[in-house]
Amino acid sequence: MTAAAPAAASRIAVVTGASSGIGAATARQLAAAGYRVVLTARRKDRIEALAAEISDAGHQAAAYALDITDRAAVDEFATAFKTIGVLVNNAGGALGADPVATGDPAEWRQMYETNVIGTLNVTQALLPALTASGDGTVVVLSSTAGFATYEGGAGYVAAKHAEHVLAETLRLEIVGTPVRVIEVAPGMVKTEEFALTRFGGDKEKAEKVYQGVAQPLSADDVADTITWAVTRPSHVNIDLLVVRPRAQASNTKVHREL
């Protein structure tokens, strides 16, 4: 007999980087699946608006402004919870697309801080509550950049490789505890901010990333895979889910209709 996943009702799902894109879409979908979602991000106004939207739709949501690179703030946040069902480590992102020869060390450092140390901070702080739930799930949103490199991507690719290693190692270390570790690695996803942030607000450069691609993934497409993985029965661990648009065969092989 297959044990069903525990009812989502009254279970808490914490989503980092919930102010836009994949994080916001995941918060909406997990709430619709019955989780009480806790939205975190630095931009308080955005997560408060989203929490209100989710509540208006008849689901349960709360907002908590948090910079995941601030360990003291993360520890303070964690004191609010005795048990948590799900943690979605979504916050992160890319900065710049310069070659190694001229890349900005400050951008590399910042990407490591947000993608890797941020994920480490929140995971460490919430692991006791995830374990105490008797059935916890840690999701790590890495990227196809966590598995193969591309020109101009080294800073981001290095950070995402590190995030992948964090997920893999954590899974080894906590096996036998009631917590599973799921890694979701998306390829090309068109969101309102990812490419714009990477290129410092340069709309033209950001648009070029998706130029001629019939249908890049949307934030909802990725949120759908996260929600599916999280709602599998407890004993089923989706170790790694790689998801790309049909038009993308690899990080560097993309079909463009120009």
- Look at phi and psi of residue 92 and say left if phi exceeds 0, alpha if psi is from -120 to 50, else beta: left
**Residue 155 found at the interface with ligand 8X3 (CB under 6 A):** no
Q: Which residue number, 35 or 199, has a Cβ lying nearer to ligand 8X3?
A: 199
**CA 202 – CA 215 distance, rounded (Å):** 22
**Residue 115 found at the interface with ligand 8X3 (CB under 6 A):** no
Min CB(41)–ligand 8X3 separation in Å? 18
| 6: amino acid identity, one letter | P
**Residue 216 found at the interface with ligand 8X3 (CB under 6 A):** no
- Look at phi and psi of residue 2 and say left if phi exceeds 0, alpha if psi is from -120 to 50, else beta: beta
Q: Which residue number, 177 or 250, has a Cβ lying nearer to ligand 8X3?
A: 250
Question: Segment contacting ligand 8X3 (CB under 6 A): 12-20, 103-111, 138-146, 173-181?
Answer: 138-146
**Residue 143 found at the interface with ligand 8X3 (CB under 6 A):** yes
Other C-beta atoms within 10 Å of 26: how many? 32
State the DSSP code for 146.
Answer: G
Nearest alpha-carbon partner for 88 in 111, 115, 119: 119
- Give me the count of residues in the chain: 258
Question: Segment contacting ligand 8X3 (CB under 6 A): 19-27, 49-57, 137-145, 168-176?
Answer: 137-145
Find the angle CA(55)-CA(59)-CA(62) to the nearest 5 degrees: 55
**CA 215 – CA 23 distance, rounded (Å):** 20
Q: Which residue number, 60 or 248, has a Cβ lying nearer to ligand 8X3?
A: 248
**Residue 191 found at the interface with ligand 8X3 (CB under 6 A):** no
**CA 226 – CA 22 distance, rounded (Å):** 10
Catalytic residue, candidates 35, 64, 156, 210 = 156
Q: Of the candidates 153, 155, 216, 245, which one interacts with ligand 8X3 according to CB under 6 A?
A: 153
**Residue 144 found at the interface with ligand 8X3 (CB under 6 A):** yes
Structure tokens, 189: 């996803």
Q: Is 156 a catalytic residue?
A: yes
Min CB(58)–ligand 8X3 separation in Å? 33
**Residue 145 found at the interface with ligand 8X3 (CB under 6 A):** yes
Residues with a catalytic annotation lie at 156
Binding site for ligand 8X3 (CB under 6 A): 143-145, 153, 156, 187-188, 251
